[in-house]
Structure 1
Amino acid sequence: MPDVQALVNDFVLKLKRRKIEGSQATAKHTAELLRQVVSQQRITYTNQAASLIDAVKAVGEQLIEANPVELAVGNIVRRVLHMIREENVSSAMSAVEELALGSDDDEAEHDNRMGLSAAAVAAAARSTLRAPSLQTLLEDIPDSATAPHPPSSGGDSEGKSKSAESSSRNKKLKHDVIEAINELIQEIDTCHELISAQAVEHIHQNEVILTLGRSRTVKEFLCAANEKKRSFRVFVAEGAPRYQGHVLAKELVGKGLQTTVITDSAVFAMISRVNMVIVGAHAIMANGGVIAPVGINMVALAAQRHAVPFVVLAGSHKLCPLYPHNPELLLNDFKCPSELLDFGEFSDCLDYGQLGDSPPIRVENPAFDYVAPKLVSLFITDMGGHSPSYVYRLIADYYSAEDLVVRRKSAP
């Protein structure tokens, strides 16, 4: 088996040097690395779930620190932590059920004690696996669920049997967590296909679609509608300064779609002719806001002004359980200034500024925009279509409240 720390160091180096591009590739690499961490974690018979959580948190802290802008890394780390907690509660409930089934010939007192244990585990499961709501507050939890149970007598034989059962349960927990991570990797691999399968429900005949820049999810979504004999037209804003819209336009023309390339400044002039705006996303925040490539907020404002639906396509691995104002987040990245201008064009200005006659010139090239939730009409994910107000429910299903903060704050 490969050394886990060597794999972690290699992945951290790739994240720091931006060698892995795209949220899907980053999420998949993170899930595969955490699967290695879980599989090689040594089993401790005291509390296997706690040891797995500590190991994943230690690795996740390094990964998040390496590239805080790539929010998919923290999302996958928190998803794996939630899986460990979920499988731990499920394993405990199944163990209690097995003991309860085997206690038919025991005394009534033993049966009552097992019933109380089952109630305690059920209450713990409700508090762990469900999001806080009024319904969970009103549910009945037995008063004796949290009461300590008296130790049962049985001697060394009973102690050995309990140790064997604990060892078997810990091994099963580890196996179940690895299987859950495998399903997560499969979900990341197939997210584009699941999103594209919903294209015919949203794109209709003779419509005009507007997008900006280049997104693989958007490309496959549009191509899937075209394969279903939908005849529509696409306006592609070029997405300066990287001009990824030119690449998307060539790809769409190659698939036989009617495509028109426009400048970013022409979006507001053309938006009145558009039936729908479809864009990709870098991340979806807990409040329903979107971190997207720069320029998309301008498109969202134009769409709102002309009452054009603004649809965001994103896989579930892009759901971030944190809010934009969270101090743990770094929401933007600045690209190389050479994408905006050549150094030789303003070299005389830089020399002039060094003399003290005027301040030196600054070139800002941000990578992302923040789109407020009120500007988004619909999210289309691999789990279906959802409104921005429903994002909190999806996040409650995928993450645990205890795992929202993975990275430790650095000392002042």
Structure 2
Amino acid sequence: MSANEFASKRLAFLHDLHSGKVTGGYKTALETVNYVRRTVATAKWNSAEDLMKLLQRECRYFTLCLPKCYVVTNMIKRILRLIRDEHLRLAGASEEIIRDPYDSLPRLWEEDTIQETATSVKHLRTSLIETVHEFVTEIETCSDNIAIQALDHINTNDTVMTIGFSTTVERFLLSAGKTRRFNVYIAECAPSYSGRNLMTILRTCPNIQAELIPDAKIFCCMSQTDKVIIGASEVLANGGIRAMCGTYTMCLCASHFCVPVIVCASFYKLTPVFVSGDDQEAFNELRSPAEVVSFSSDVVTKMDIRNPAYDCVSPDLITLLITNVSGNAPSYIYRLINELYHPADLLL
């Protein structure tokens, strides 16, 4: 593939993300992996090191172009880790070296020695394409693996509260609703009112008694709630989350009433980035104020209207994070990130 063709494919992928043709964490993750798979299959590279440098440049490029779309860079960093592991495996490295990138200086020296071993580019390319294909399958089964764990967390006659619409939470609740009867409060999540979409879906399940509530009623209903189950756009390195606006309010109310907060998030949302809620510019996005007040209103000319898309929820407000592997405390997220990404790629 020539440089012009490569640049054209990159711009097409970037356009799909910017134009909204690709939305949501799941679709973004799949499209990113497919883009990288095409790069691995068609780009010109003569060694694993060349390929990693190419993907590292791509990761930096997307970080600049999409500074708040962490799923894209997460997938590239994850594939970089897979490339390293596969290269070491083909070069004859032990499973202990492949499994743990954080070990001793002798281990680092041994890895460098192994990386100097020549490996057939054709063999490596074929092996990597198969590895990435398996990775795509893992992404596709993420939500199902999270939903399977629902019966471990939702009991008969429980009252659950959630906010807005999340595909992962939807499948989680429907999975529990197959065998258990329980109640769900759904905060409508103004001004998008995405909670109404979840309400429509849960009504189809006879075992789930769902009630749509305005956001202002979250505090009132929290005293009757057994647990809060929410989704997340990203899970940050400190165990906190970036989630739809209104989630922070719900988690604060849950903390006041000592109600456990459970977050359902696929592994591709685990982000090796530390973001503070005080730094709104670093993680938040402002949507059109027309969602809140019509431009035809006289109020528009008299005030500055901001419509943030996300909330940053600190780890101390979260009880449990459920990924496709298992449920973990927020303090354990650092270990999951260490397993997913190589330390050399964390700062790309």
Q: State the TM-score, normalized to the length of structure 1.
A: 0.77
Greater C-alpha Rg: 1
Is the CA contact 1:314–1:379 (under 8 Å) kept in the aligned structure 2?
yes
Pair 1:143–1:81, CA change in 2 (3 A): closer
Aligned equivalents of 1:305, 1:12: Cα separation in 2: 42
Contact 2:91 2:119 in 1 (8 A): no
- Alignment correspondent of 1:75: 74
- Residue 11 of structure 1 and its aligned partner are, at CA, apart by 0.9
Partner secondary structure for residue 274 of structure 1: coil
Q: Which residue of 1 aligns with 2:292?
A: 340
Aligned: 1:234 with 2:184: yes
Contact 1:311–1:380 (8 Å) recurs in 2: yes
Does 2:339 align with 1:397?
A: yes
Partner of 1:224: 175
Do the aligned partners of 1:301 and 1:375 also contact (CA within 8 Å) in 2?
yes
- Distance in structure 1 (CA, Å) of the matches to 2:60 and 2:51: 14
What is the rounded CA distance, in whole Å, between the counterparts of 2:275 and 2:109 in structure 1? 41
Q: Does 1:6 align with 2:5?
A: no
Deviation at 1:147, TM superposition (A): 11
Deviation at 1:68, TM superposition (A): 1.9
Following TM superposition, by how much is the alpha carbon of 1:20 offset from its aligned partner in structure 2, in angstroms? Answer: 1.6
Secondary structure class of the residue paired with 2:52: helix
C-alpha distance in structure 1 between counterparts of 2:247 and 2:108, whole Å:
53
CA RMSD across the alignment: 2.6
Task: Specify whether residues 143 and 194 from structure 1 end up closer, same or farther in structure 2 by C-alpha distance, changes over 3 A only.
Answer: closer
Please state how far the C-alpha of 1:62 moved relative to its aligned partner. Answer: 2.9
- The alignment status of 1:369 with 2:311, answered yes or no, reads yes
* Structure 1 pair 145–231 and aligned structure 2 pair: CA distance change class (3 A): closer
- Among residues 227, 251, 259, which one is paired with 1:300 in the alignment? 251
Q: Aligned partners of 1:142 and 1:19: how far apart in 2?
A: 45
Structure 1 unaligned spans of 5+: 95-121, 149-164, 351-359, 407-412
Using the size of structure 2 for normalisation, the TM-score is: 0.91
How far, CA to CA, are the matches of 2:236 and 2:266 in structure 1? 13
Deviation at 1:246, TM superposition (A): 1.0
> Which amino acid is the alignment partner of residue 251 of structure 1?
I
Instruction: Note closer, same or farther for the CA distance 1:274–1:40 as it changes in structure 2 (3 Å cut).
Output: same
Give the 3 Å change call, closer, same or farther, for CA 403–287 of structure 1 in structure 2: same
1:254 aligns with 2:204: yes
Give the AA of the match of 1:60: C
Deviations 1:76-108 (A, max 9, x none): 0110111111112222225xxxxxxxxxxxxxx
CA distance in 2, matches of 1:283, 1:39: 29
Relative to structure 1, the CA distance from residue 337 to residue 49 in structure 2 (aligned partners, 3 Å threshold; closer, same or farther) is same
Q: Work out whether 1:271 is the aligned partner of 2:222.
A: yes
Equivalence map 1:13-412=2 (5 Å): 13-44=15-46, 48-93=47-92, 126=97, 129-132=99-102, 136-137=103-104, 141=106, 166=118, 168=120, 170-227=121-178, 229-256=179-206, 257-325=208-276, 330-346=282-298, 350=301, 361-406=303-348
Q: Which whole-Å CA distance do the structure 1 matches of 2:112 and 2:13 have between them?
A: 46
Displacement of 1:37 after TM fit?
Answer: 0.4
What's the CA shift string for 1:228-286, capped at 9, x where partnerless?
Answer: x2000100001011000111111110233211111111111110100110000000011
SS of 1:243's partner is coil
- Long gaps (5+) in structure 2: none
**Contact kept in structure 2, 1:294 and 1:369, CA below 8 Å:** yes
- Over 3 Å counting, the alpha-carbon distance change for 1:302 and 1:36 in structure 2 is same
What is the alpha-carbon distance in structure 1 between the residues aligned to residue 132 and residue 144 of structure 2? 19
- Structure-2 change in CA distance of 1:305 and 1:43 (3 Å): same
Q: Secondary structure at the match of 2:238?
A: coil
User: 1:144/1:287 Cα in 2 relative to 1: closer, same or farther (>3 Å)?
Assistant: closer
Against the structure 1 CA distance between its residues 55 and 193, is the aligned structure 2 distance closer, same or farther, given a 3 Å change threshold? same
3-state secondary structure, aligned to 1:209: strand
The offset of 1:397, in angstroms, is: 0.5
How many aligned positions are there?
A: 340
Q: Which amino acid aligns with 1:343?
A: F
Q: Tell me if structure 2 keeps the 8 A contact 1:235–1:262.
A: yes
Tell me the alpha carbon deviations over residues 194-223 of structure 1, each in whole angstroms, 9 at most, x when there is no partner: 111111111111000000001111111111
User: For residues 221 and 5 of structure 1, what CA distance do their matches in structure 2 show?
Assistant: 40
SS at match of 1:33: helix
Distance 2:9 2:180 in 1: 46
Question: 1:91 and 1:337, CA in 2 relative to 1: closer, same or farther beyond 3 A?
Answer: same
Deviations 1:322-372 (A, max 9, x none): 111599x9311111111001011136x62xxxxxxxxx5211000000000
Q: What residue is the counterpart of 1:113 in the other structure?
A: none
